[in-house]
Amino acid sequence: MCALVSYWISWERLKENDDQNYKRHCIEMVYNYFVAQFWQSEDGNTQQIESESL
């Protein structure tokens, strides 16, 4: 959940600051977040998250 909050904060900053390096940082952070979710799928956490979003 912390990753989701930090992602939201970064997205708010991205809307204010159109710097290319910051965009790349946000993309990397989103990528790392989804990779972490993927690796947690063995515990069943990802399936629950996907069910709630649908």
Contacts of 38 (CB under 8 A, 6+ apart): 46
Instruction: Calculate mean pLDDT across residues 37-49.
Output: 63
Residue keyed to tokens 């940082």: 25
Cα 39 to chain centroid, rounded: 14
Does the pLDDT value for residue 17 go beyond 70? no
Does the pLDDT value for residue 41 go beyond 60? yes
Instruction: Calculate mean pLDDT across residues 15-22.
Output: 69
pTM over 0.85: no
Q: Looking at the chain, list the stretches that DSSP marks H as alpha helix, in order from N- to C-terminal side.
A: 2-16, 20-39, 45-53
